[in-house]
Amino acid sequence: MFRVTIRGTFEELGEDEREALRTAVDSAQVAFTEAGTFTCDRSLSAFTFRCQVPAGPDDGEPEATERAVAALAAHGYPHRILRVGVTDMRHIKIRRKGGRG
């Protein structure tokens, strides 16, 4: 599983798009989902898009980035990507609290 964070700016949003985004942002929880979630301020100038991408055995950051960008594009809002961050959850080590008994 990959978690991808895309930071970008919206470009030339129409009033209907602005209203739909405001509604979505007001009702959405910040989470990594396969469809992706937006967070942004009320001015709708910049955004953060969080997406969770399933990982195949040979998948790496390029494949995860490509799928996350496709999920972002599927929302249909005109945008410009500024930065992409990818975390491969297969490499995350979880440290358990407590000592050995």
| DSSP symbols for 66-99 | HHHHHHHHHT---EEEEEEEEEEGGGPPPPPSS-
pTM metric for this prediction: 0.81
- If you write DSSP's letter for every residue of 5-71 in order, what string do you get? EEEEEE-S--HHHHHHHHHHHHH-----BSS-EEEE-TT-SEEEEEEEE---TT--HHHHHHHHHHH
pLDDT digits (tens, 9 = 90+) for 10-63: 998 888 888 888 887 777 678 898 888 888 877 888 999 999 999 888 889 999
